[in-house]
Amino acid sequence: MKHFLLIAALAIPFSLVACSERTQEHAEATADSAAQDASVAAERAEQESREAAAQTAEAAKTAGAVVAGTAINAADAVGDAADDAQAAAARSAADAANATAEAANNTAAKAEANAAEETADAKRD
């Protein structure tokens, strides 16, 4: 039994050494796997970042085109409003000129009628 205990006592350190070597091998394999996973994740993140940047650039181009279109439409609307305002002012000026001409004609007609009446009165006297 003495030999058995001696053999068992000597076997324990060897089994611990073997166990720690296996543990170390597993740890290295786990670290390698984690490094590969991190590398794949970094590559995916880089690709997704590039895609997001491309989409952002495309969205900015679209927004710029929309802004330019809006500015053009606003300028057209202002031009149309100015044309409408000028046309309304021209109509008002024409209406005022017509009213003045009509008033002048009415005044001339009254003056003519008064002159004719005075001439008729002068002939009677």
Structural domain boundaries in the chain? 1-95
User: How many other C-beta atoms lie within 10 A of the C-beta of residue 20?
Assistant: 10
Assign 1 to helix, strand or coil: coil
Sequential pLDDT tens for the chain (125 residues): 555 555 555 555 555 555 566 667 776 777 778 778 888 888 998 899 889 888 988 988 888 888 888 888 888 888 888 888 888 898 999 989 889 989 888 888 888 888 788 777 777 76
Question: Quick one: pLDDT at residue 125?
Answer: 64
Report the Cα–Cα distance between both ends of the chain, in Å, rounded.
178
Question: Quick one: pLDDT at residue 71?
Answer: 87
The pTM of this model reads 0.44
Assign 58 to helix, strand or coil: helix
